[in-house]
């Protein structure tokens, strides 16, 4: 070995060792300041509540604060824009929701790309959507509803919290897969939509679980199925819509964490591991369930595949139903 070659080899080896040491120090040091989680909705809603119940124990794990930054507006767009522009240094994360899988098909001029501008960290929770009908409707199952709707095209109407929202799209996905023509009646929020269902002004609704539960228990409405891929813990006696007569149907609201593109992979992996730990803890599970959310932790790869599927599913549904944003 020549002297010059040995010297070059030694320098490269030292540089490599130095890089490893620096990387190790970076991993060991993170986090050394507050880690902010942007929530694109106002305080008190299901995504905000899930975020707070998730980040509080994360803060304890990390021994730094994990503040929630509510950047509400434009149906989730304002918060997404802010998160996309944040420094990818591992100190800003974003609670994305079903809205961000729907918006690309409703808004053609978004200033961010939910896939290109972010990296998936992990799913946080699901919010079940349940198919409920007024007791006067002579159907007791999903299969019977499909048969009735086909025998009476255009005569059934379903309410929703608004055009382009999760409960509206759940209905249009049902129409598309079942070949039915139930009419959509949009309302300004879940409360008035549920009120008119209970009052009999509409015949059915694809409702968010928490708002439907008390009316199901009181017998004012009847539950036929849930949009979850498996039986919901909130409605253990109610079958999935897929198993009850419409194979392949899956529709529910959700929220999960993403990070600005370029965030170090080791930090993404660390946050995911800690999220899985937190979301699997009995205390967190109990708190989320009490708030109407079903914990759904998983890997970044699983969340990426899920998001890709959601984007395609809702794009196809929106095109099929010719839905135009208000």
Alpha-carbon distance 217 to 230, whole Å? 21
C-alpha dihedral over 47, 52, 57, 60, to 10 degrees?
140
Per-residue pLDDT of the chain (326 residues; tens, 9 = 90+): 444 434 444 344 444 444 444 444 344 589 999 999 999 999 999 999 999 999 999 999 999 999 999 999 999 999 999 999 999 999 999 999 999 999 999 998 899 999 999 999 999 999 999 999 999 999 999 999 999 999 999 899 999 999 999 999 999 999 999 999 999 999 998 999 999 999 999 999 999 998 899 999 999 999 999 999 999 989 999 999 999 999 999 999 999 999 999 999 999 999 999 999 999 999 999 999 999 999 999 999 999 999 999 999 999 999 999 998 76
The CATH architecture that domain 128-226 belongs to is: 3-Layer(aba) Sandwich (3.40)
d(CA 135, CA 30): 56
What is this structure's pTM? Answer: 0.88
C-alpha span between 227 and 245 (Å, rounded): 12
User: How many Å apart are CA 274 and CA 102, to the nearest integer?
Assistant: 28
Residues 193-202: contacts with CB under 8 Å, at least 24 apart: 193/159, 193/160, 193/161, 193/167, 194/159, 196/159, 197/132, 197/134, 197/159, 197/221, 198/134, 200/134, 200/136, 201/159, 202/134, 202/157, 202/158, 202/159
> Fold for domain 28-127+253-321?
D-Maltodextrin-Binding Protein; domain 2 (3.40.190)
* Backbone torsions φ then ψ of 191, nearest 5 degrees: -60, -55
- Residues 108 and 242: their CA atoms lie apart, in Å, by 32
Q: Where are the domains of the chain?
A: 28-127+253-321, 128-226
């Amino acid at each position: 070995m020549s002297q010059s070659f040995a010297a070059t080899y030694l320098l490269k080896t030292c540089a490599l060792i130095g890089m490893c040491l620096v990387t190790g120090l970076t991993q060991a040091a993170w986090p050394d300041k507050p880690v902010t989680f942007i929530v694109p909705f106002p305080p008190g809603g299901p995504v905000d509540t899930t975020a707070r119940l998730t980040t509080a124990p994360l803060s304890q794990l990390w021994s730094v604060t994990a503040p929630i930054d509510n950047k509400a507006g434009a149906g989730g767009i304002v918060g997404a824009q802010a998160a996309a522009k944040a420094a990818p240094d591992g100190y800003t994360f974003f609670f994305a929701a079903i809205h961000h899988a729907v918006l690309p098909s409703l808004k053609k001029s978004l200033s961010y790309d939910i896939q290109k501008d972010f990296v998936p960290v992990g799913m946080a929770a699901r919010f079940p959507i349940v198919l409920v009908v007024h007791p006067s409707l002579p159907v007791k199952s999903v299969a019977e509803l499909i048969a009735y709707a086909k025998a009476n095209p255009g005569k059934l109407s379903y309410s929703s919290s608004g055009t382009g929202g999760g409960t509206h799209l759940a209905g249009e996905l049902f129409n598309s897969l079942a070949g039915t023509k139930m009419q959509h009646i949009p309302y300004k929020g879940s409360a008035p939509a549920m009120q008119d269902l209970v009052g009999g002004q509409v015949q059915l609704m694809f409702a968010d679980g928490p708002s439907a539960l008390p009316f199901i228990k009181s017998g004012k409405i009847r539950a036929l199925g849930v949009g979850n891929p498996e039986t919901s813990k909130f409605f253990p006696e109610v079958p999935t819509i897929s198993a009850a007569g419409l194979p392949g149907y899956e529709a529910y609201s959700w929220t999960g964490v993403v990070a600005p593109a370029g965030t170090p992979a080791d930090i993404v992996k660390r946050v995911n591991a800690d999220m899985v730990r937190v979301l699997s803890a009995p205390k967190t599970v109990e708190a989320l369930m009490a708030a109407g959310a079903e914990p759904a932790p998983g890997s970044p790869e699983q969340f990426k595949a899920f998001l890709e599927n959601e984007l395609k599913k809702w794009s196809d549904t929106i095109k099929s139903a010719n839905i135009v944003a208000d």
